[in-house]
Amino acid sequence: MVLDPAALAAIADLELVSKRIVDGTISGLHRSPFHGYSAEFSQYRHYRPGDDLKYVDWKLFARTDRLYTKQFRETTNLACQIALDASASMDYAGESTVTKFTYARLLAGAFAHLVSRQGDAVGLVAYADTLKQYLPSRGGQAHLRSLLLTLGRTEAGGRTNLAAALARTMDLLKRRGLVVVISDLYDEREEVEQALRQAAHIGHEVIVFHVLSRAEVELPFHDDVEVEDPESGRVILSNGAVAVRAYREAISAFLERWRSRCATYGLEYVRVFTETPLDAALRAYVRRRALGGAA
Amino acid sequence: MILWLAPAAFAAFALLAGPLIAHLLARRNARRVIFPAAHFVPPAQAAAIRLRRPADLALLIVRLAILSAAVLAAAQPLFVTRWNLSAWNARISRVVIVDTTGADRGQHSSAVIDGLAAREAVSAYVTQGIDTADLREGLQRAANWLAFRPPSRGEVVVVSDFRRGALDRDSFEVLPRDTGIRFIRWRSLPSEQTTTLKPIEGWRGGRWQATATVDKDGIRTDWASLGRGQKEDQSWLTVLAAPADAGAAARAKTAAASFGVAPGEASHRCRVVFTGGDEAAGEPIRTPWMARAALVLRDSDLLRQADVAVAAEERGGALIVRAPVSGSSAAAPAVVRAVMLAMRPAVIGGRELETAAIPDTDLAAWRRDPAAVTTSDMRRRWQLTDTDGRAFWALALVLLGIESWMRRSRRRVVAQEAHASAA
């Protein structure tokens, strides 16, 4: 079932929406994509075709000539911090039916739900030029509900300051954890690179969701326009038909820079378009991760 | 090769400046859009370069093409190809001039002439019939018509009995050199022709009618009395003289009328003013019948023999003839008689009784075939109802459809952008 971003955005209850997205995402997957640092043995059960051979107890097989699968009760203590870009540039829909910010908010909610569902701690940093909202990572349904309510209250506006947001996110994470950045990444200052380098150095696992509208990649006008930057307010006169080639080259270079930057520091880079159904985007990512893809 | 039959239409190319200026000015009315990746959008070039690059070049090109196609169509293009030339040479535009001299030719003769004319019309691409008693005038009308014929060879066919004097070598100068000429002699002239003239009133106090016969020896006229007849009303002619000469002037009029006067229009009135006659000054002649009468007076043998030069003018709808002699002079009757003949002209037509015909050898010498249409001939003012301008009109219509489609799609994109910007 496809979860249309526009349809989901129309549902006010973010908890319900995020649960719906997560249910749609992990149904059919054999295992959780995220693993904590420890797992406690629970019991044996007979091997059934399809079980992961990693959990087969081979010593017991040698003794009894029967296949048993070990089962664990996960006692993970993974801490996840979501850094949500709430700057003015995110308040753009292009030719999509939802803005990038709405999409990013739904994505953040779904991610929080996904992490919380497996008993891990999740927190939120919503930022623009300053920190708009922040919640430290904690587990439990009550915290998740609070996080989703906070997400729902957050509005887009102001300039992007990704470096400050990353610094604050790492402050909030007392130990190594998972950092999820959801942004359009229109901030390429040196400080951002330093923050990313630092996050990788500390040993955080960083996932960067690069949220874009298709219109941003293709340049959606063909005639003379005064283009206004929503964050700086700067206005330039341009002609779409004339500028399209140079623009596409520039935006491609920008996307490539971010991809290679993330690869350099061992960060996971996921590009999502607001026109893509949310569950499809999330499922593709989770499946890739579960299969040990890019990480 | 393309010929432009209305090259003046090229002046309309000036209209191309309209859309060009509109597209140049449109650059200054750029709308504002909010775009998050604005810092990647290259700014427009310098103002001077911007002015040279109009907005929406594709749409501008289509609009210019529409106007150009319309202008080219209005210039009436004609594609001159070998195929076209051969097609045009296969056609003949023909003028059939029927000589109507001798209205008494009878029903049988009319049927023969009409049959000949119809036969000529059948084999022509287009035909124009001209009935005339004056073949020279008919040739002039034929030349006028052929000048605006459709692309084709031109030919004039003259159907006549070719009485002597009807045509001569110079008569054909009015026709272009490439126009063919043929002659159809519908009958041979009889050796003798007789016609009855209109009766004359007043001669020897009676009514007379003459029968004229023309043969190789000359003209013979036989007069027959039709009785006393009615007293001819001569009030259309007034004679004015000095009071002392009034009686003599009246007698001069009576004497002139005694030679007989042909019937005429009663409304055509004339006053002969001798020296001392009371008549106010008139105006120059403008009425056609007065002009004809004045010309006859100028050439009058009677006035020449009497050595009197008269002056003619117009006043109050009447012809005023002033004679510089007194009403009692010996020349007075001659002046009045000359005026009567000028007002009531002769009743015998010029060639009606002609029995001699133009020889076949002359007709054969004047005959010529229509010349083939050449490329240079195409510059003439053809009467064209189907120039190749239609192709350009069709092109303009197709381009108009494309322009309409482009405008609609542009409007849709702008609406989407506005929606996106608003969002």
Render pLDDT for B193-225 as a digit per residue (tens, 0 to 9): 787 777 777 777 777 888 888 777 777 888 888
> What is the per-residue pLDDT for A251?
93
Q: What is the mean pLDDT of residues B113-130?
A: 85
Model confidence at B385, in pLDDT bands (50, 70, 90)? low
In a domain, residue B28? The reply is no
User: Are B70 and B104 in contact, with CB atoms under 8 Å apart?
Assistant: no
Q: What is the CA radius of gyration of chain A?
A: 21
> What is the per-residue pLDDT for B379?
62
Model confidence at A178, in pLDDT bands (50, 70, 90)? confident
CB-nearest to A222 from B37, B39, B413 is B413
Q: Do B37 and A186 touch (CB under 8 A)?
A: yes
Q: Scanning every residue of chain A, which has its alpha carbon at the shortest distance from the alpha carbon of B45?
A: A238
Phi, psi (rounded to 5 degrees) for B144? -60, -45
- Is residue A157 over pLDDT 70? yes
CB pairs under 8 A between A and B: 115
Model confidence pLDDT, tens digit, residues A27-42? 444 344 444 444 566 6
Share of chain A above pLDDT 90, in %: 16
CB-nearest to A221 from B27, B44, B417 is B417
> What is the per-residue pLDDT for B329?
92
CB-nearest to B33 from A88, A221, A251 is A221
Chain B residues touching residue A236 (CB < 8 angstroms): 38, 41, 43-44
In a domain, residue B385? The reply is no
Question: Same domain, yes or no, for B238 and B181?
Answer: no
Q: Scanning every residue of chain B, which has its alpha carbon at the shortest distance from the alpha carbon of A99?
A: B423
Strands (E) located in B166-236: 180-185, 193-196, 200-201, 207-215, 218-225
Q: Do A95 and B420 touch (CB under 8 A)?
A: yes
User: Are B273 and B322 in contact, with CB atoms under 8 Å apart?
Assistant: yes
Structure tokens at B326: 């007194």
> Per mean pLDDT, which range of A7-16, A59-68, A74-83, B80-89 is the poorest?
A7-16
Q: Nearest Cα to B204, choosing from B258, B262, B252?
A: B258
Q: Scanning every residue of chain A, which has its alpha carbon at the shortest distance from the alpha carbon of B58?
A: A241
> Per mean pLDDT, which range of A233-237, B257-261, B337-341, B415-419 is the poorest?
B415-419
Distance of CA B141 to the CA centre of its chain: 6
Question: Same domain, yes or no, for B138 and B90?
Answer: yes
Question: Same domain, yes or no, for B284 and B298?
Answer: yes
Domain that holds residue B125: 85-189+357-380
The CATH number that applies at residue B110 is 3.40.50
Give the separation between CA A95 and CA A220, rounded to whole angstroms: 8
- Is residue B314 over pLDDT 60? yes
Angle at B207 between CA B204 and CA B210, to 5 degrees: 100
- Is residue A245 over pLDDT 60? yes
Question: Same domain, yes or no, for B342 and B264?
Answer: yes
Average pLDDT value over all residues in chain A: 79
Question: Same domain, yes or no, for B262 and B294?
Answer: yes
Average pLDDT value over all residues in chain B: 83
Q: Do A221 and B413 touch (CB under 8 A)?
A: yes
Q: Nearest Cα to B404, choosing from B122, B19, B102, B66?
A: B66
Structure tokens at B207: 């009514």
Q: Do B35 and A231 touch (CB under 8 A)?
A: no
HSE-CB of B331 using CA atoms within 13 angstroms: 18
Give the separation between CA B356 and CA B47, rounded to whole angstroms: 90
Share of chain B above pLDDT 90, in %: 31
CB-nearest to A246 from B33, B42, B58 is B42
Model confidence pLDDT, tens digit, residues A194-233? 888 888 888 888 889 999 999 999 888 877 788 899 988 8
Q: How far apart are the first and last CA of chain A?
A: 27
CB-nearest to B38 from A224, A227, A254 is A227
Give the separation between CA B69 and CA B78, rounded to whole angstroms: 14
Q: Do B55 and A239 touch (CB under 8 A)?
A: yes
Q: What is the mean pLDDT of residues B266-286?
A: 90
Cα dihedral across residues A44, A46, A51, A54: positive or negative? positive
CA dihedral A264, A266, A267, A269 (to 10 degrees): 70
Q: Collapsing DSSP states into helix, strand and coil, what is residue A107?
A: helix
Phi, psi (rounded to 5 degrees) for A227? -95, 125
> What is the per-residue pLDDT for B362?
92
CB-nearest to B36 from A184, A238, A239 is A184
Interface mutation vs chain A, best among B25, B29, B34, B56, most A CBs within 10 Å: B34
Alpha helices, DSSP H only, in chain A? 5-9, 14-26, 58-64, 100-117, 141-153, 162-172, 190-202, 214-218, 240-264, 278-290
Which of residues 351 through 410 in chain B touch A, CB cutoff 8 A?
A: 410
Structure tokens at B258: 């005694």
- Is residue A262 over pLDDT 70? yes
> What is the per-residue pLDDT for A60?
87
Model confidence pLDDT, tens digit, residues A86-133? 999 999 988 778 899 999 998 888 888 878 877 778 899 998 888 888
Q: Scanning every residue of chain B, which has its alpha carbon at the shortest distance from the alpha carbon of A102?
A: B423
- Is residue A26 over pLDDT 60? no
Q: Do A222 and B37 touch (CB under 8 A)?
A: no
Q: Collapsing DSSP states into helix, strand and coil, what is residue B179?
A: coil
> What is the per-residue pLDDT for A30?
37
Question: Same domain, yes or no, for B334 and B371?
Answer: no
Q: Which of B334, B351, B368 is the last residue of a domain?
A: B351
Q: Nearest Cα to B118, choosing from B154, B148, B153, B157?
A: B157
Question: Same domain, yes or no, for B325 and B365?
Answer: no
- Is residue B92 over pLDDT 70? yes
Q: Do B32 and A230 touch (CB under 8 A)?
A: no
> What is the per-residue pLDDT for B235?
84
Three-state DSSP string of B104-136: CCHHHHHHHHHHHHHHHHHCCCEEEEEEECCHH
Q: Which of B351, B372, B400 is the last residue of a domain?
A: B351
In a domain, residue B289? The reply is yes
Question: Same domain, yes or no, for B92 and B150?
Answer: yes
In a domain, residue B390? The reply is no
In a domain, residue B281? The reply is yes
> What is the per-residue pLDDT for A18?
56
> What is the per-residue pLDDT for A28?
42
Question: Same domain, yes or no, for B242 and B289?
Answer: yes
Question: Same domain, yes or no, for B171 and B245?
Answer: no
Structure tokens at B181: 């000429």
Model confidence at B147, in pLDDT bands (50, 70, 90)? confident
Query: What's the domain count of chain B?
Result: 2
Q: Scanning every residue of chain B, which has its alpha carbon at the shortest distance from the alpha carbon of A157?
A: B36
Question: Same domain, yes or no, for B347 and B361?
Answer: no
Question: Distance of CA B114 to CAs A184, B2, B98, B100, B158, Å?
Answer: 95, 41, 9, 11, 12
- Is residue B369 over pLDDT 80? yes
Please state whether beta strands A131-138 and A224-228 pair in parallel, antiparallel, or not at all (unpaired): unpaired
Give the separation between CA A185 and CA B175, rounded to whole angstroms: 89
Q: What is the pTM of this model?
A: 0.45
Residue with more model confidence, B146 or B102: B146
Q: Scanning every residue of chain A, which has its alpha carbon at the shortest distance from the alpha carbon of B36?
A: A89
